[in-house]
Amino acid sequence: MVKIGNIELGEFPLLLAPMEDVSDPPFRAVCKDNGADLMYTEFISSEGLIRDAIKSRQKLDIFPYERPVGIQIFGGDEEPMAMAAQIVETTNPDLLDINFGCPVKKVVCKGAGAGILKDIPKMVKLTAAVVKATRLPVTVKTRLGWDDNTKNIEEVAERLQDVGIQALTIHGRTRTQLYKGHADWTLIGKVKNNPRIKIPIFGNGDICTPEQTIAAREKFGVDGVMIGRAAIGYPWIFREIKHFMKTGEHLPPPTVLERVEVCKKHLRQSVSWKGDIVGILEMRRHYANYLKGLPHIKEFRQQLVTYKTLAEIEDVLDAIVSQYKDHIFERTSPPLAEQNFLPADNEMAGCNVYV
């Protein structure tokens, strides 16, 4: 049984990654329905929380159906991060996660996210300040290092464990890689198999299929995997992985009707949580993935990203079901890379491989 503090996550948990502008409550709801074991909020600025910024405060919204759920914060200074941790605690999440992995320039230039990988002593001090400021279990998500010359994740893991974190998620790329190239799971495996490491180690990067998940467990020994881009518009990935790990067999892909019904739920919850205008606007980024594999779908997709009312959009979704009710999705089997992971040079390469 994998545990973070007193939180039991099962034998090999599947975690939903915190993705900015994606991992909001409506998206988390459909992922939870399909088997995500632990989910995180979008990352939240520590300084934004302290300033009472509306967008930052809204990201604190969590709901009973999501549990266990963690709130993720980022920042580059000890005092604001400690204060943010205390604010987060009042919303009663199950845990608090620190983002030391975001590679985006506007975050990095403030010495936050992956930017702190240039200053490991500061990273340790900041983490210690957050651990001291809250009673919540504190976890960290980070990368292998800043660049190929500073892959210091083994040292980082030991030092963060020593100051009190209770789990570590490692994205198998450096900051300079961004999301290009291949995730290096070898170093993730070294951290997990370090006899000094006693906390759960979760791997992240290029997980798109059940076979890759099994490889992550058997070859690298991780305690679970975190799934990000592969779940966008395809929350079924969690149930498919669990079924394959239990039976050795693939589930059939979701039908057109299943895809549309889940898309509708996602849309309705987006409107309910964000309001008509923002909820409809921000949902537009998801349609392409929900409808991936349907032939000649461009006209319908254009309507979905143009119409401005819930009724109009649901009418289009119903029309898609009618038009494609006999379409059968078939699984393709792209060759696996040497380390049993698909290349990720192109975004979502190998993910949701149905035609």
Instruction: Give catalytic residues, as residue numbers.
Output: 102
320 pLDDT more than 80: yes
- Give pLDDT tens digits for 19-71: 988 999 999 999 999 999 999 999 988 888 888 777 778 888 999 999 999 99
Whether residue 159 is predicted with pLDDT greater than 70 in this model: the reply is: yes
Half-sphere exposure of 141 (CA within 13 A, CB side): 32
3-state SS class at 56: helix
pLDDT band at 333 (very low <50, low <70, confident <90, very high): low
Q: What is the mean pLDDT of residues 213-239?
A: 94
Of 17, 33, 70, residue with least CA distance to 258 = 33
**Residue 175 is assigned to a ligand binding site:** no
Query: In order of start, what are the domains of the chain with their CATH numbers?
Result: 2-247 (3.20.20.70), 256-324 (1.10.1200)
The pLDDT score that the predictor gives to residue 302 is 95
Is 327 a known ligand-binding residue? Answer: no
Instruction: Kindly tell me the number of DSSP H helices and DSSP E strands found in the chain.
Output: 15, 11
- Answer yes or no: is pLDDT of 346 > 60: no
Rounded to the nearest 5°, which phi and psi values hold at 125?
A: -65, -40
Q: Consult the annotation and say whether 190 binds a ligand.
A: no
Whether residue 342 has pLDDT greater than 70? no
Q: Are 92 and 61 in contact (CB under 8 A)?
A: no
How high is the pLDDT of residue 352? 52
Q: Which two tokens stand for residue 180?
A: 């290009």
Instruction: Specify the higher pLDDT residue, 257 or 351.
Output: 257
Residue with tokens 């490889």: 215
Coil, strand or helix at 76:
coil
**DSSP calls for 269-309:** HHHHHH-HHHHHHHHGGGHHHHTTT-TT-HHHHHHHTT--S
- pLDDT band per the 50, 70, 90 thresholds, residue 174: confident
Confidence grade of residue 278 (pLDDT, cut at 50, 70, 90): very high
Q: What is the pLDDT of residue 57?
A: 80
Q: What is the pLDDT of residue 56?
A: 79
Mean pLDDT, residues 79-96 taken together: 94
Mean pLDDT score of the chain, rounded to an integer?
89
Token duo for residue 83: 């204060």
Find out whether 217 is annotated in a ligand binding site: no
Q: Does residue 230 surpass a pLDDT of 60?
A: yes
